[in-house]
């Protein structure tokens, strides 16, 4: 069996962190993922939200939107049992997209925003804890 190069692990960790931040920002804006939101089909409004998300992630709206679509595809494929997804990402996406999980958690948008504005040190601790469980 082959060995995993340490740089590969660092890249995966880095990508999981970026993806997790993206999911947490998207979660604040149901217009992006919730078809029952009155503005979901308003392309201009959705573009404005992608710009806000991209600015906070120091990226572009196009990159963020494309990565979001990739994550959605991966999540749906993972739910079908075809692929495996990082547990943290799966749980974040499930919380964001599955209305039953969302309603059960009852997490408000304001609390989510507060959690996003915590320091990077807190974010690093979140991932260190999660990596130990893998």
Q: What pLDDT sits at residue 36?
A: 87
Tens-digit pLDDT profile for residues 59-94: 999 999 999 999 999 999 988 888 888 888 899 999
Tally of CB atoms within 10 A around 73: 11
Instruction: Check residue 118 and report its DSSP letter.
Output: S
Residue 132 has pLDDT above 50, yes or no: no
In whole angstroms, give the CA distance from residue 2 to residue 83. 20
Q: What pLDDT sits at residue 55?
A: 95
In whole angstroms, give the CA distance from residue 95 to residue 49. 20
Q: What pLDDT sits at residue 95?
A: 87
């Amino acid at each position: 069996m082959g060995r995993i190069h340490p740089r590969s692990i660092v890249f995966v960790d880095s990508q999981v962190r970026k993806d997790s931040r993206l999911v947490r920002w998207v979660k604040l804006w149901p217009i992006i993922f919730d078809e029952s939101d009155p503005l979901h089909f308003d392309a201009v409004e959705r573009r404005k939200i992608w710009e806000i998300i991209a600015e906070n992630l120091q990226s572009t709206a196009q990159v963020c939107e494309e990565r979001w679509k990739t994550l959605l595809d991966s999540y749906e494929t993972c739910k079908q049992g075809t692929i495996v997804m990082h547990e943290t990402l799966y749980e974040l996406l499930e919380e964001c997209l599955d209305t039953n999980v969302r309603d059960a958690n009852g997490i408000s948008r304001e609390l989510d925003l507060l959690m996003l504005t915590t320091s990077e040190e807190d974010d690093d601790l979140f991932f260190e804890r999660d990596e130990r469980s893998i």
